[in-house]
A and B are shown apart, each in its own frame.
Chain A
């Protein structure tokens, strides 16, 4: 059974700092991996999607990497801003089982001004 773990559970950093959020998964037979952002009282917003054949994806100050064989992904946020404060969730979609998606518990990020 696929399990997704995110470390740390919470993180507080000063503005301008570069930071890394970690995600690990137990079954490497994945179709893709997604990073989402969730603001309080809101739904999830997809940030980056990495196909199983890819090693990384970049969007602005965000860079996500995928090491499928070791079951790990990282989300790198450069030059963090207070507006980056949110919960970040990692989710994997298995190779089999259609569109089923398994989410991690998330990392709650607070960027101090």
Chain B
């Protein structure tokens, strides 16, 4: 059973460039989450979707960040324009509701470095 798949695993780009992170959730999961992890702030929820619809984007830091989920098997997190302070590890996770909220399953993350 494939887990959550994220790409790319590593991304190094220059300030001002557009960055697109991709995520494929576990099949059958109807919740998808985007997190950011840094040494200073720990793990922060950026946005989550239910049935492809954004439910809570209050964690998205600025308008430079946007996320989409065009279908149940794919989501993107885009940063445009990117800045050095966006450097972090970005995780995607998916989950489901089966009478109760089920555990979240995480991908291995994308390590983003903005020069």
- The verdict on B34 contacting chain A, using a C-beta distance below 8 Å, is no
Total interface residues in chain A, CB < 8 Å? 24
Q: Are A42 and B56 also in contact (CB < 8 A) when A99-B33, A99-B48, A103-B42 are?
A: no
> Within residues 32 to 60 of chain B, which ones have a CB less than 8 A from any CB in chain A?
33, 42-45, 48, 50, 55-56
Question: Which one of A11-19, A43-51, A60-68, A71-79 is at the B interface?
Answer: A43-51
On chain A, the residues within 8 Å of B56 by CB distance are 97-100
| A7 → B minimal CB distance (Å) | 15
- The verdict on A81 contacting chain B, using a C-beta distance below 8 Å, is no
The contact of B100 among A34, A41, A43, A51, by CB within 8 Å, is A51
Q: What's the Cα separation between A80 and B50 when bound, in Å? A: 38
Q: Are A45 and B106 also in contact (CB < 8 A) when A51-B100, A99-B55, A100-B56 are?
A: yes
Total interface residues in chain B, CB < 8 Å? 24
Q: What's the Cα separation between A99 and B29 when bound, in Å? A: 13
User: A51's closest neighbor in chain B, by CB?
Assistant: B100
User: B107's closest neighbor in chain A, by CB?
Assistant: A43
| B73 → A minimal CB distance (Å) | 18
User: A32's closest neighbor in chain B, by CB?
Assistant: B101
Is chain B's interface secondary structure helix, strand, loop, or mixed overall? Answer: strand
Q: What's the Cα separation between A49 and B4 when bound, in Å? A: 19
Contact B48 A100 (CB under 8 A): yes
The contact of B103 among A46, A97, A100, by CB within 8 Å, is A46
On chain A, the residues within 8 Å of B78 by CB distance are none
| A81 → B minimal CB distance (Å) | 23
- The verdict on B25 contacting chain A, using a C-beta distance below 8 Å, is no
Contact B48 A89 (CB under 8 A): no
The contact of A93 among B42, B101, B106, by CB within 8 Å, is B101
Contact B42 A106 (CB under 8 A): yes
The contact of A44 among B48, B91, B102, by CB within 8 Å, is B91
